[in-house]
Amino acid sequence: MPEFVIQRAIRILNKQGVAISRAKILLLGAAYKKDIRDMRESPIEGVITQLEHYDADFEIHDPYVEEFHHEKNGKEYKTVSLGNLKKYDLVIVITDHSNVDYQKIADSGVAVLDTRNAFKHIQADNVELM
């Protein structure tokens, strides 16, 4: 599944004229499932592995996970704030936490790849559901 997500992300970025290796990407949600801190079997690790394969620049935001250790690459990752969304070329929703303001993200105009249907009730041209 991570490979499929990244291929979709590449298509979205290409429509903007941005190569994945030059894009700034925000991964939204790191936990295994919504509204918990549990990282076991989280899909984010596979997505990170794929992004690193393409030398992509990415950050992670998760209101429940302040930092985590990637088991396969041995790196530590820390959560960033959702401050300036305009600095990103793409937001990829990995975990759909209830306390994230999805309308604010849609209103920012930044392209969104929603793998969890968190935006299903939000009308926005910049959001692509999987």
pLDDT score, position 115 = 96
pLDDT score, position 71 = 84
Q: Please give the share of the chain, as a percent, with pLDDT higher than 70.
A: 100
Beta bridge partners of 27: 60, 92
Q: Which range of residues forms the domain containing residue 68? A: 2-129
pLDDT score, position 72 = 85
Domain count, the chain: 1
Closest CA to 88 of 28, 23, 30: 23
pLDDT score, position 41 = 87
DSSP helix/strand/coil, 67: strand
CATH number of the domain within which 88 lies = 3.40.50.720
Residue pLDDT, tens place only, 39-92: 988 999 999 999 999 999 999 999 999 999 888 888 999 999 998 999 999 999
Residue pLDDT, tens place only, 16-31: 999 999 999 999 999 9
pLDDT-derived band at 130 (thresholds 50, 70, 90) equals confident
pLDDT score, position 129 = 94
Q: Which residues of 60-85 are buried (b: 16+ CB within 10 A; e: fewer)?
A: bbbbbbeebebeeeeeebebeebeeb
